[in-house]
Structure formats: C-alpha cells, structure tokens
C-alpha cells in the first residue's frame, strides 16, 4: 500500500505508537488522518502536530465499546466517504497471573481483542464493497512468543494475532490486506518505569518513531508481520523448531526476571 492520498484512522493515537503512526502517515502524504483516543487532550495534541498538507481530525473513542467504534467509523465515512487503512492500535497492559480479577481480565480482553473485532465489523462492509482496504492490528511480540509477568497480556495478544490471521485468510482474496504489528519494548507511556535491563528491553527499547518507519515499510510491501525488532523472527523459528526447548528457555527467562 502506498500511503499517499489515503484516508487513515488510528486508534490509541493520543501518544506513543499511535501518535507516531499518525505523524508518519501524514509525512507519507496521506490525504486525511483521523486521530482517535479516549484521552481527548492527548488526541487534540496529536491533531495539532499534523502538518497543514494533511487533513487531521480527532474523534474520541473507547475502543472497548462496540457502539463507540461504530460511531468512529460512521463519522469518518460521513466526512471522507471511505477508509483506506484502519489502524486498530489502542491497547492496555495488566500485570499478573491467572488470579487477576475477572473484571480486569474482561477489560483487557475487550480492549486488546474485541476492539479489533469491533473495527472489522464496522469497516469491512465498505472495504469489501470497494474491493480493497487495509487493516493494521497492533498486537505485540508477546502474541507470537509470550509475556513474562502477565498472563492477561500474553493471552489477549495471542488472540489478536489469531484474529488477524483469520481476517487475512478469509478476506485476502477479496482485496483486504492485513498486517499485525508485533514489537517488543517501545518507549511509550505503557512502558513507563521499565528498565532497559529488564525483560521488556532485552533486545533494546525502540522509539515510537523507529517503529513507525518499520510499519510504513511493511505496509508498502504488504507483508503480514510487522517486526520492528528483527530478533523476533529468530525466536519464532526457534519456537516452531523445538517447542519444548523453547519453553525451557522461557522458563529460565522467567526465573531470571521474576522479581524484576
């Protein structure tokens, strides 16, 4: 996909990865960037940072609520008639094991998984009617590997990958392209307090702007996996080659960072 003259929607765009994507898409010549977030002040700041050559508007949205995602898409279509690229980027992190409160499990499930489902339900009819469209779903390397210290994050990011795969398999021959963004540590508010020496930053902590460059490169090539940390591909191959050995290595990693 070439981003020039495209209509793009980005959720979770008040800061971090979402903001960097908005600014990079504008730099690439997108005709319009719809900036969405539950953080209205941050959303407005992102809109203000986008240059005059790209139309930028802010539409607040809690992506964990289907009616709000539908409203986001409807308002975008009212102004721009179609959506070329929908970036379902908003996400949250919940630390803990299986004993995390059920309400917190449900909250992270709604935001990290169902938000992608809600977005697909809202945008796919128009994209399929046009015979083209692109979905970029932010997951994590945790969705391909695992997450030390967070069962809810690992489980929901695996589910996000599964849904993105299903979308690509089901609609790929009908003009719908799908990519899954799977970084390791990125310097965002979600990563605040993480140490470079901790498990999150074991392969280095990227700046959001570096990640955005990787996204644009992958979208241009229309590849499924967006891997800003190239090491992740090696880890996936090791996992597939010998699952038990990989699990043993992850157990040792867990022991190493259990108290960090």
Sign of the C-alpha dihedral computed for residues 214, 49, 139 and 116 taken in this order: negative
Residue located via tokens 């392969």? 203
CA-CA-CA-CA dihedral for 14, 51, 78, 7, to nearest 10: -90
151-209: pLDDT as tens digits: 999 999 999 999 999 999 999 999 999 999 999 989 877 655 555 545 666 778 899 99
Q: Quote the tokens at residue 13.
A: 């765009």
Strand partners, 76: none
102-155: pLDDT as tens digits: 999 999 999 999 999 999 999 999 999 999 999 999 999 999 999 999 999 999
List Cα–Cα distances, 227 to 143, 193, 219, in angstroms. 12, 23, 12
Q: What is the pTM of this model?
A: 0.93
Give, as one character, the DSSP assignment of residue 111. I
């Amino acid at each position: 996909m070439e981003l020039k003259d495209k209509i793009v929607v980005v959720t979770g765009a008040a800061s971090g990865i979402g903001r960097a994507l908005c600014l990079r898409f504008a730099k690439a010549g997108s005709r319009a960037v719809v900036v969405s977030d539950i953080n209205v002040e941050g959303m407005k700041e992102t809109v203000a940072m986008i240059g005059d050559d790209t139309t930028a508007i802010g539409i607040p949205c809690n992506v964990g609520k289907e009616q709000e995602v539908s409203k986001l898409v409807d308002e975008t279509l009212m102004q721009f008639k179609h959506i070329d690229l929908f970036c379902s980027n908003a996400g949250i992190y919940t630390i803990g094991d299986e004993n995390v409160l059920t309400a917190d499990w449900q909250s992270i499930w709604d935001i990290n998984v169902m938000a992608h489902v809600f977005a697909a339900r809202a945008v796919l009819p128009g994209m399929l009617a046009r015979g083209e469209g692109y979905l970029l779903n932010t997951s994590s390397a945790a969705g391909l590997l695992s997450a030390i210290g967070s069962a809810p994050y690992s489980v929901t990011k695996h589910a996000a990958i599964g849904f993105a795969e299903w979308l690509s398999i089901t609609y790929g021959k009908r003009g719908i392209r799908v990519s899954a963004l799977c970084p390791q540590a990125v310097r965002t508010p979600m990563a605040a307090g993480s140490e470079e020496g901790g498990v999150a930053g074991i392969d280095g902590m990227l700046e959001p702007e570096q990640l955005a460059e990787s996204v644009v490169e992958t979208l241009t090539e229309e590849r499924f996996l967006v891997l800003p940390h190239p090491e992740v591909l090696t880890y996936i191959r090791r996992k597939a080659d010998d699952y038990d050995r990989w699990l043993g290595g992850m157990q040792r990693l867990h022991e190493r960072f259990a108290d960090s």
